[in-house]
Amino acid sequence: MQEIYNQPAQNNAEDYALAGQLSLRDAPRVAEELKQALVAGRNIRVRTGDVEAMDLSIVQLLVASIKTAEASGCAIAIEAPEGGVLDQVLKRAGLDQPLDGCLQRRDGFWIGLSCQASKEEGYAQ
């Protein structure tokens, strides 16, 4: 059985932990939780270390949440432990490289940066 829970973090941030087997049927709930936090102006850190399985609908949702965060003026970091489920799914889908210079892998996280910020910080390729 899948679990999706959030744990309040410090500094106006939401710490979300995804766990279990996540699929298309879980996407609406995950999307709504992330959207509520972003619309409220909170920064988000998504933990995926306890995910046992994940399909591309959840990956698509996580990538879309980066765009939503940028539009809302928020920051988002998506944990992707090396060799973990999310890391494996990203590699199988060919998404293990930075996307348009706006999604960067740094210290085991996929970090959504605005395209302008990523260029200014030298992250865009």
Of 30-34, 44-48, 94-98, the poorest mean pLDDT is in: 94-98
pLDDT digits (tens, 9 = 90+) for 67-105: 888 888 888 888 878 888 988 898 888 776 655 545 556
Q: Which domain holds residue 45?
A: 3-120
Q: HSE (CB half, 13 Å, CA atoms) of 28?
A: 1
**91 dihedral zone (left: phi>0; alpha: psi -120 to 50; beta):** alpha
Mean pLDDT score of the chain: 74
Is residue 53 assigned to a domain? Answer: yes
Mean pLDDT along residues 35-43? 84
Is residue 76 assigned to a domain? Answer: yes
Is residue 61 assigned to a domain? Answer: yes
Identify the pLDDT of residue 10.
45
Find the CATH number of the domain harbouring 93: 3.30.750.24
Kindly tell me if the per-residue pLDDT of 25 is higher than 80.
Answer: yes
Is residue 43 assigned to a domain? Answer: yes
Is residue 65 assigned to a domain? Answer: yes
Tally of CB atoms within 10 A around 62: 24
Number of domains in the chain: 1
**Model pTM greater than 0.95?**
no
Is residue 125 assigned to a domain? Answer: no
Short-list 46, 47, 53, 45, CA closest to 85: 53
Of 45-54, 55-64, 68-77, the poorest mean pLDDT is in: 68-77
Say if residues 58 and 25 touch (Cβ distance below 8 Å): no
